[in-house]
């Protein structure tokens, strides 16, 4: 009788330990998922991680736009990416242009975006933009294999 009781207690303790271990693994995974915010997942020239260095040249958007513009006058912002593969499995899916305006309470402003189709379109787009105040253009592109990449450019409005 005593042996059965000891055996039962040992089995109970083992099951309890396994349950505690399972809960710890589960909660650490959930914490890991919750802790990474979207901003931390965007690759930039300044905050590039070691695994992304080799990919930077082919993914960081290039912004071609004037340094100075006149308030209310339209100007062109060209955004290019690459050279980059353009196959159904691996291509630049989207290019977005945001603007963070000096003095504005909530930034950024989504100015424009383009969804691209593999094979038929290239990641080379141009938007016509008008600004009232100085600020920073943010070009963000999404690669179907390598995620989000961002480049910025300051524009002074006179």
Provide the binding-site residues for Fe ion, judged by CB under 5 A.
143, 145-146
Count of H helices and E strands in the chain?
2, 9
Q: Which residue has the tokens 């603007």?
A: 99
Give dist(CA 23, CA 42) in Å, integer: 31
Residue with Cβ nearer Fe ion (69 or 143): 143
* Residue 149 beta carbon to Fe ion: minimum distance, rounded to whole angstroms: 9
Tell me which residue has its CB nearest to Fe ion. 143
Closest distance to Fe ion from the beta carbon of 141 (Å): 9
Nearer to Fe ion, 71 or 145 (CB): 145
- Give min distance, CB of 79 to Fe ion, in A: 16
Closest Cα to residue 78, out of 18, 139, 132? 139
Residue at token pair 């179907």: 144
Q: Which is nearer to Fe ion, 146 or 153 (CB)?
A: 146
Smallest distance, Fe ion to C-beta of residue 123, A: 10
Query: Given the complex with Fe ion, which of 5 and 119 has the nearer CB atom?
Result: 119
Q: Give min distance, CB of 48 to Fe ion, in A.
A: 15
Integer angstrom CA distances of residue 29 from 23, 33, 41: 10, 6, 17
Please give the C-alpha separations between residue 3 and each of 6, 12, 16, 104, in angstroms, as whole numbers: 5, 14, 20, 75
Check if the beta carbon of residue 55 is closer than 8 Å to that of residue 148: no
14 versus 145: smaller Cβ distance to Fe ion: 145
């Amino acid at each position: 009788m005593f042996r059965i009781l000891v055996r039962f207690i040992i089995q109970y303790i083992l099951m309890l330990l396994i349950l505690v271990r399972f809960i710890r693994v589960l909660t650490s995974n959930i914490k890991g998922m919750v802790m990474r915010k979207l901003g931390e997942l965007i690759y930039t020239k300044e905050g590039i991680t070691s695994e992304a260095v080799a990919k930077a040249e082919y993914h960081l958007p290039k912004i071609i736009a004037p340094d100075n513009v006149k308030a209310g006058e339209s100007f062109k912002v060209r955004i290019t990416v690459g050279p980059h593969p353009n196959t159904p499995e691996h291509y630049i899916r989207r290019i977005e242009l945001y603007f963070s305006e000096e003095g504005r309470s909530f930034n950024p402003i989504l100015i424009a975006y383009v969804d691209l189709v593999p094979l038929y379109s290239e990641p080379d787009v141009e938007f016509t933009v008008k600004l009232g105040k100085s600020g920073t253009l943010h070009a963000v592109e999404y690669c179907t294999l390598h995620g989000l990449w961002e480049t910025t450019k300051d524009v002074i409005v006179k």
